Amino acid sequence: MDFELKHINPKEYEGNVVLLYGNEVSDRSLPLGRKELECLKVKRAEKPDAIVVFDRLPYHIYIVNFNSEEPAPEVQEKLRRAADKVVDMLKEEKQNSVALTGEGVIAEEVVAFMEGMRLADYSFDRYKTKTQNHVLKVVVEETFLTQEELERSMRLWNHIEWCRKKVNMPVADLNAERFAKELEQRAKTLGVECTVFNKKKIEALRMGGLLGVNKGSVDEPRFVVLEYHPAEAVNKKPLALVGKGVMYDTGGLNIKPDDYMQEMKSDMAGAATMAAVLFAAAENRLPVHLVALLPMTDNRPGFNAYAADDVLTMYDGTTVEVVNTDAEGRLILADAIAYAVANYQPELLIDAATLTGAAVRAISTFGIAAMQQNAENPFNLLKIMGNQVYERIAEFPFWKEYDKLIESDVADIKNCGIAQAGTITAGKFLAHFAKQTPYIHLDIAGVAFFSKKQDYYCTGASGYGIRLLYAFLQTYEMVLN
């Protein structure tokens, strides 16, 4: 989907037009007859967020109603969801272009609608043999934003789409080695430093978690480090982004039951998310020094697969009793976190992972389960940004008592606690490796991939969390003052 800035007179425009209608100020610009305007008023009174369509064959006028007096984040989220519905209408009519304007609306509302359209128009078409319908062009009233503002937003949305494409790819076409190569190529085009550790280098580093999970796979693991270091960075020490890259998760020898293995190609969404955030920040030249650390492997039950009761020695020397081989994500993340702490001394470390089903059971698919250790101020900023962009986070307690649930009789700690507080104990396991580094854990299990259409996040990979972290980085300087 391409956007073009241009002056639009809705009363003269020949084509499909979307008019954002937030209050009665818009009346004077609506290209409607008296009876049509009366009809609109009735429908708006019945349903304040109705989308009312008027025929102007062969085109249509789409009036998107909303209440501009509501809190701004709610207004903008409703506009994103309305944009999803309009995109569906356009596709159903096989229309591939539309104009967007409105009177009495503000730039943030228009951009939110544009964002909703851009994200809603995505579909994973790689394996489709028939051409899919898409909205190819949106002409936007030029007074709402500048060309530079448009391009910055487009670059962010492009990286979200890239992430969704990667997460939707099956492991047969995107294993750890191939993903590492794609990251290396993309980093090169954006001027981002990229280091790829192959299996021999990972063995030399003694990353027992990553190597242990990989033992059952024919495909070698990879550990990718991306670094974006702008000269004008506001932070003296880097901010580390760690992402879980389990390219496919069978559960290992604790193999997943029933249909739980379906959609496990998405278990690398954390790695794709963190890469996309760093790439977007680099392309838009955000003044934040970032390092992304991405451990990658699939989890298989073949060969000499690691087993429950095994004891692994991690990168930092911690010994871990394996209780369940399906708790593999935290093992590879632990090595990456420990590596980040030892080699970069980050001022803040954030991880993102499709880590626990317990997170989904706790808060469903409405947000991210999150915890923090020694990072209260940045965590508060992250919550504020989550509310702003409507990718919200729910804070779970991180009390010391939870540490007891991962104590082991045979090793330093174990990789899985009891069923209760499963999301928290997973975070506690990772926090052990962060040591005293300010640390935030984001469990994106409920939002990274949707089996059914979820508004503008569509079906499949969502890219959820990228807008949140990007907005956080835009305002990161606030926690330094």
Encode pLDDT of 202-224 as tens digits.
Answer: 999 999 999 999 999 999 999 99
> Per residue in 348-375, pLDDT tens?
999 999 999 999 999 999 999 999 999 9
**Closest of 238, 459, 212 to residue 328, by C-alpha:** 212
Q: What pLDDT was estimated at residue 184?
A: 98
What does pTM read for this prediction? 0.96
Choosing from 43, 155, 237, 256, the catalytic residue is 256
User: What value does the mean pLDDT take over residues 40-55?
Assistant: 93
- In the residue annotation, 178 being an active-site residue is answered as no
- Which residue carries 């059952």 as its tokens? 216
User: What value does the mean pLDDT take over residues 140-148?
Assistant: 97
User: What value does the mean pLDDT take over residues 160-174?
Assistant: 98
Q: Where are the alpha helices (DSSP H) in 307-421?
A: 329-344, 357-363, 376-389
User: What value does the mean pLDDT take over residues 178-182?
Assistant: 98
How many Å apart are CA 242 and CA 292, to the nearest integer?
6
pLDDT at 263 over 80: yes
Tokens of residue 318, six digits: 């911690």
Q: What pLDDT was estimated at residue 131?
A: 87
Residue 450's H or E segment, with its range, is strand 449-450
> Per residue in 287-320, pLDDT tens?
999 999 999 999 999 999 999 999 999 999 999 9
pLDDT at 126 over 90: yes
How many Å apart are CA 212 and CA 217, to the nearest integer?
10
How many Å apart are CA 404 and CA 413, to the nearest integer?
9
Angle at 355 between CA 173 and CA 304, to 5 degrees: 60
pLDDT at 29 over 90: no
Question: For the chain, what's the residue count?
Answer: 481
Read off the DSSP letter of residue 93.
T
Q: What pLDDT was estimated at residue 42?
A: 93
User: What value does the mean pLDDT take over residues 131-160?
Assistant: 96
Q: What pLDDT was estimated at residue 18?
A: 96
137-141, strands of its sheet edge to edge: 2-6, 137-141, 97-101, 17-21, 59-65, 51-56
Confidence band of 481 (pLDDT split at 50, 70, 90): low
How many Å apart are CA 72 and CA 177, to the nearest integer?
44
Q: Which residues pair with 63 in a beta bridge?
A: 19, 52
**Closest of 118, 109, 116 to residue 72, by C-alpha:** 109
**Residues 465 and 354: beta-carbon distance below 8 Å:** no
Q: What pLDDT was estimated at residue 257?
A: 87
Choosing from 118, 186, 199, 330, the catalytic residue is 330
Supply φ then ψ for residue 446, to 5 degrees: -85, -15
Confidence band of 61 (pLDDT split at 50, 70, 90): very high
How many Å apart are CA 42 and CA 61, to the nearest integer?
17
Domains of the chain in sequence order: 2-145 (3.40.220.10), 155-480 (3.40.630.10)
Neighbours of 92 (CB within 10 A): 9
Q: Kindly tell me the sign of the dihedral angle through the C-alpha atoms of 285, 242, 274, 454.
A: negative
How many Å apart are CA 449 and CA 23, to the nearest integer?
36
pLDDT at 479 over 90: no
- In the residue annotation, 165 being an active-site residue is answered as no
How many Å apart are CA 10 and CA 7, to the nearest integer?
10
How many Å apart are CA 215 and CA 304, to the nearest integer?
6
Supply φ then ψ for residue 120, to 5 degrees: -70, -25
